[in-house]
Structures are given as structure tokens and as C-alpha cells.
Amino acid sequence: MPIPVLFIGAAAAAGAFGVGKTVKAGVDTVNANSINKTANEIVDDATKLVNAQREACSNSLSHLGSEKLFVLNTSMTQFLDTFTKIKNVDFRETEGLNELSRLHVDEKEFTEMKAMVSFAGSLAGGTIAGTAGGALTAFGAYGAAQALAVASTGTAISTLSGAAATNTTLAFFGGGALSAGGLGMAGGVVVLGGLVVGPALAVMGLVTGAAASKNLEQARTNKAEAIQIASQLNTASLQCETIRRRTYMFYNLLARLDTYFLPLIYQMEDIVKTEGDDYRTYSDASKQTIASCASVAVSVKSVLDTPLLTDDGLLTDESESTASSIEGFLKNMRIPY
């Protein structure tokens, strides 16, 4: 008996529907995989950028820490060795001191300088021994007095290295690659400038079979999440760049001050050799030289003592104020860039 045309048509329609559904599932799977691949690339690119910026920022902070140590262990040590030999120092009557009076000069400043020099000596010893770890990065980010306070209860090098490892911001600059879950992240997050950055998006798996349509929607969600994560990572990259620029500015200020500082120290040493150690008997020109040298020393201390970062990884207002003040001092002293 021949099969009714109606059933033949129904079977053909069902077959066509099945083929169409299979084709759509295949297209959905391809689209989902493509979207997931794009999502991964978005996060991967942003992760590579923040890792590069983090490394550059870490290097700049470490270089600033090294420069601070160098100045403390050379020029500042030499200055204090000679200046403390001079008796009856009184800058109140020194002619021409007004033009140098942007920064206050008093006994407290020199007491703090001596403490910094002593601390720098112990830190440099650890650095030379190869045990610095994150200490130089921490010394670059902290003010010298702040670093001294942190390390006051233990060995300077080990305590400061420990502080760098436990401070979330400094751990961000001193840890491993973000994609590897490094950077000292506690609980899978990094805090930089108040920004919470989650771990990079995991690689999305392939989607197949009857769930292809559902997985296509998931892929679209993955991409939206990837864009959000990339936005956070890019913000962190910009913050790193901003910190790096401020760090370089402080390095430059310190180097310029030191260039001017050392010749004044040599002149001061000559004055002590030729005119003795009683400030009251010095010529006006010699008093001016001593006053200038002391004023530069206080300027150097100001740069050394100013913290760059808050605990949340924001640049401090104090560092901006100090940079502006020292720039004005350098211009008055006509110290070139």
C-alpha cells in the first residue's frame, strides 16, 4: 500500500527541521567560540599592558630607592661629618639667607638627617649582600623617616623587605605576573588607587551539542565581563604610569640637588680648614656658603622624606607639594635641568 503523501511531507518537514536545528547549533557553537576567543584576547591584551606598566613602575621605584641610598651614604654623610664640626652656627644673622628660606633650617632637621644616614647604612649593607628583596622599592615609595619608623623594631633590610611584601600596593609592584595570579594578591584581588582588580578571566571552554544556543548567550556574557575586567586593568595601567612619572620626577629632583650639593660641601670643608670651626668668626661670604649648603641639605631631606604613595596606591598630595616647592628652590638657585 502506498504511503500517503501527507505522511511523506510530514517526515520530510521533520527531517528538514532536524537538519536546520543541527545547522543552527553548529553556527551557534562557532559564534560562541569566536566570542569567547575575542573575550580572552581582550583580557590578555589588558593583562600584558598592566604587567608591563607594573614592571616599569617597580623599576622606577627601585631606582629612586637606590638614588636615595646613594645620596644618604655619600653627600649627606659627608655634609654631616663636616657641618657637625662647626660651632656656634646661627643663620638668623646670615646675609642673603632670606632668598634660601623656603625651607626651615633647625636642629631637629639635622637630628633626623643623622637618623636617616644611619638607617641608610644598614639598608645599603643588606643591598650589597643581595638580600634587599622589595626593600629598595619600599624605600622609593616611602619617605625615609617613614621607612625608618617601619624598620625601627628590627633589622632594617629584612623589616623593610617584609613591609614591601605585606603592603598590598608594594606587593603589586614586586610580585609575579598578573596572569599567573601573582602580585601578592590576597583573596585574588589587587588594590591600586582604591581599584579592585579581579584575576584575569579564565579561558572559556568549547561549547557543543544541544546547549549551543545557551552557551552562545554565556559567551556574550563572558565578553561583557571581559570588557569590564579589561577596563579595570587599563585603569590600573594608567595609575602605574602616573606613579612612574612622579617617581621619575623625584629621582630627577634629587639628582639635580645632589649635583649642586656636593660642590658646596667641598667649599664648606675648605672653610673649616682655613677659617676654623667657629661660625661667628667666618667672613660673610663663608657664612653665606655654609647657609646655602645647609639649606640644600634640608631640601634634599625634604625629597628623601616625602612618601610618594598612600597605602591604597594613590599618589600623595604631599609629594605634589614637595615637588612644586623644590622646583621653586632650584629655580631660585638657578640650578639647571
pLDDT at 44: 83
pLDDT at 263: 94
Model confidence at 314, pLDDT cuts 50, 70, 90, reads confident
Q: How far is CA 18 from the centre of its chain?
A: 60
Q: Do 79 and 293 form a contact (C-beta atoms < 8 A)?
A: yes
Model confidence at 295, pLDDT cuts 50, 70, 90, reads confident
Type of residue numbered 188: G
pLDDT at 210: 42
267: number of Cβ within 10 Å:
15
C-alpha cell at 35: 566570542
pLDDT tens column, 226-239 = 888 888 888 888 88
pLDDT reading at 192 higher than 70: no
User: Three-class SS of residue 203?
Assistant: coil
Type of residue numbered 126: G
Phi, psi of 94 (to 5 degrees): -75, 120
Nearest-angstrom CA–CA distance, 227 and 42: 7
pLDDT reading at 81 higher than 60: yes
Model confidence at 274, pLDDT cuts 50, 70, 90, reads very high
Identify which has the larger pLDDT, 327 or 109. 327
pLDDT at 330: 84
Nearest-angstrom CA–CA distance, 81 and 155: 25
**What does the mean pLDDT of the chain come to?**
74
Sign for the CA dihedral angle at 76, 82, 88, 94 comes to negative
Nearest-angstrom CA–CA distance, 309 and 141: 6
Q: For the chain, give the percent of residues with pLDDT over 70.
A: 64
Nearest-angstrom CA–CA distance, 247 and 173: 13
Residues in the chain: 337
C-alpha cell at 279: 661660625
Nearest-angstrom CA–CA distance, 63 and 5: 86
Choice among 27-41, 85-99, 224-238 with the minimum mean pLDDT: 85-99
Identify which has the larger pLDDT, 261 or 10. 261
pLDDT tens column, 95-127 = 554 444 444 566 777 777 887 887 777 666 655
Identify which has the larger pLDDT, 293 or 185. 293
pLDDT at 13: 41
Identify which has the larger pLDDT, 294 or 194. 294
Please identify which residue in the block is written with the cell numbers 572559556.
204
DSSP per residue over 150-162, as a string?
Answer: HGGGS-HHHHHHH
Identify which has the larger pLDDT, 183 or 325. 325
Cα-based distances in Å from 42 to 206, 307, 321 = 18, 35, 38
Q: Do 254 and 74 form a contact (C-beta atoms < 8 A)?
A: no
Identify which has the larger pLDDT, 262 or 311. 262
C-alpha cell at 180: 599567573
332: number of Cβ within 10 Å:
11
Type of residue numbered 139: F
pLDDT reading at 326 higher than 70: yes
Q: Cβ contacts of residue 221 below 8 Å, gap of 6+?
A: none
Nearest-angstrom CA–CA distance, 203 and 41: 10
